[in-house]
Amino acid sequence: MKQLFLTMITTVFIYGSSLAATPPASVQKAFITKFPSATKVSWGKEGSKEWEAEFTFEGSNISANFAENGTWLETERKIKVVDLPKGVAAAIKKTYADWTITEADKTETSKHGLIYEVDLKKGTNKKEAAFKEDGTPVAE
């Protein structure tokens, strides 16, 4: 019985440790440089060569992604749908008139600069779309 108990405890410890995500030093250094006063930081893998931190910064809940070499890729903040820029709201209304926005994000990316991402739903169909502030669609 003791052997079974020890085996179970060891298995739980090893399995739990493997789930705890610790990014490489290059990612941690880049994160601290970009977000020096971040709190409540939790890390996860976002693909095989990308890390995502979820944290609180300047009063907002934010996520930021970094490549394994520490290169910053994007920072994302959830926003209220009513806070989408007029150009984005107009583009969505025109292109996705019969869709409902279920979530909106303000995202700064290394590739596209500042964009606004939305999750859309129509019945059981779901779709993601991204736009520049003026409503220009962004292909990701």
Q: What is the arithmetic mean of pLDDT over 72-87?
A: 96
**Is the pLDDT reported for residue 52 higher than 60?**
yes
Is the pLDDT score of 1 beyond 80?
Answer: no
pLDDT value for 87: 97
pLDDT, tens digit (0-9, with 9 covering 90-100), for 123-140: 999 999 999 999 999 986
Residue 7 pLDDT class (50, 70, 90 cuts): very low
Asked whether residue 105 carries a pLDDT value surpassing 80, the answer given is yes
Residue 54 has pLDDT above 50, yes or no: yes
Cα atoms in the 13 Å half-sphere on the side-chain side of 17: 6
Neighbours of 30 (CB within 10 A): 20
User: If DSSP codes are grouped into helix, strand and coil, which group holds residue 50?
Assistant: strand
Question: 132 burial class (0-12, 13-18, 19+ CB within 10 angstroms)?
Answer: middle
Q: Kindly tell me if the per-residue pLDDT of 8 is higher than 60.
A: no
Mean pLDDT rounded to a whole number for the chain:
88
